[in-house]
Amino acid sequence: MLSLKNIYYHPSTAEKPILRDLCLKFKTGKITIVRGPSGSGKTTLVEIISGLSGYQKGEITWLNKTLNARQRRWLCGLVFQFPERYFLGLSVAQELRLGHKRLTTEELISTLTKVGLINLDLKKPPESLSGGQQRRLAIAVQLLRSPKVLLLDEPTAGLDWSVRKGIIELIAKLKDKQTILIVTHEPELFKNLNTDNYKLHNGQLIPQ
Ligand SMILES: Nc1ncnc2c1ncn2[C@@H]1O[C@H](COP(=O)(O)OP(=O)(O)OP(=O)(O)O)[C@@H](O)[C@H]1O
């Protein structure tokens, strides 16, 4: 399981540390939820876990083995906040094949099915999909890499209520195959899932 020990991060461009001796032990079978107000460091935390960003002190381990940034990038899939803003493909198929050129149509369809996108026209431009479909496509892009850990930054932000419900149900389904961390302003949306809850405050995680 994934574990963070005393993570300290103070970018030279920031006035004060963003994370201070932050500790987190992921629990088997539970979705980890981190809430916190804007600017508390939620995105910074997922960027560090995913290996996109470094840190000055501490240790991140998977099954008791210390991971460097490259190993964390292999281990984790990160779905950014509003991921649809970063789509590059001209079609759904092209979006999924970025970095996975040799994927067959069957493999694309199988991945889309995992995220509940059934009978989707692979030739459609990603921007023509609904908000909920775009969010599912962004999750599918990460699932193609078979990450052990899925990090979701505000996965329900900007979606209608009914669409949010669908995304929450999808996350509940994915949790059997992946370790999941969600950072969110809206932890109450996930209260019916089996979650382990924290608040990010002053650079540390407080169990809720
Ligand atoms: N490289 C950096 N240099 C300077 N300041 C930074 C850097 N990275 C993040 N920060 C600052 O650290 C704080 C935490 O940012 P972060 O984006 O992680 O917060 P957040 O909780 O995700 O916010 P939001 O909910 O608005 O997305 C912010 O004040 C941000 O401006």
Q: And the tokens for 118?
A: 């059934």
Ranges in the chain, pLDDT < 70: none
Provide the 8-state DSSP code for 103. Answer: -
Query: How many angstroms separate the first and last alpha carbons of the chain?
Result: 21
Taking the centre of ligand 1 as the mean of its atom positions, its distance from the CA of residue 197, in whole angstroms, is 21
Q: Which of 7, 12, 18, 201 to mutate to test the pocket of ligand 1 (most atoms within 8 A of CB)?
A: 18
Within 10 angstroms of residue 36's Cβ, the number of other Cβ atoms is 20
The answer to whether 153 and 79 are in contact (CB under 8 A) is yes
Q: What is the pLDDT of residue 86?
A: 94
Ligand 1 binding pocket (C-beta < 6 A) is 11, 13-14, 18, 36, 38-44
Residue 188 DSSP symbol: G
pTM: 0.95
Q: Which CATH number fits domain 2-89+148-207: 3.40.50.300, 3.40.1370.10, 3.10.20.600, 3.40.1310.30?
A: 3.40.50.300
Q: CB burial class (10 A; 0-12, 13-18, 19+) of residue 151?
A: buried
Question: What share of the chain in percent tops pLDDT 90?
Answer: 95
Point out the ligand 1 atom lying closest to the alpha carbon of residue 47. Answer: 18
Taking only the tens place, the pLDDT of each residue in 60-80 is 999 999 999 999 999 999 999
* Distance from residue 158's CA to the centre of ligand 1 (Å): 20
Report how far ligand 1's centroid is from the alpha carbon of 14 (Å).
9
- 182/70 Cα distance (integer angstroms): 22
pLDDT value, residue 11 = 96
Give, for ligand 1, the residue of 7, 34, 43, 202 to mutate: max count of ligand atoms closer than 8 Å to Cβ: 43
Q: How far is the CA of 39 from the centre of ligand 1 (A)?
A: 5
The question of ipTM being above 0.90 is answered as yes
Q: Where are the beta strands (DSSP E) in 36-190?
A: 57-62, 65-66, 76-79, 149-153, 179-184
Cα 195 → chain centroid: 15
Tell me what pLDDT residue 28 has.
Answer: 87
Residue 158 tokens, joined: 């900007």
Query: Residue 99: its pLDDT value, please?
Result: 86
User: What is the number of the ligand 1 atom nearest to the C-alpha of 44?
Assistant: 18
208 alpha carbon – ligand 1 mean position (Å): 22
pLDDT digits 0-9 by tens, 141-162: 999 999 999 999 999 999 998 8
Q: Measured in angstroms, how far is the CA atom of residue 18 from the centroid of ligand 1?
A: 7
DSSP string, 147-162: -SEEEEESTTTT--HH
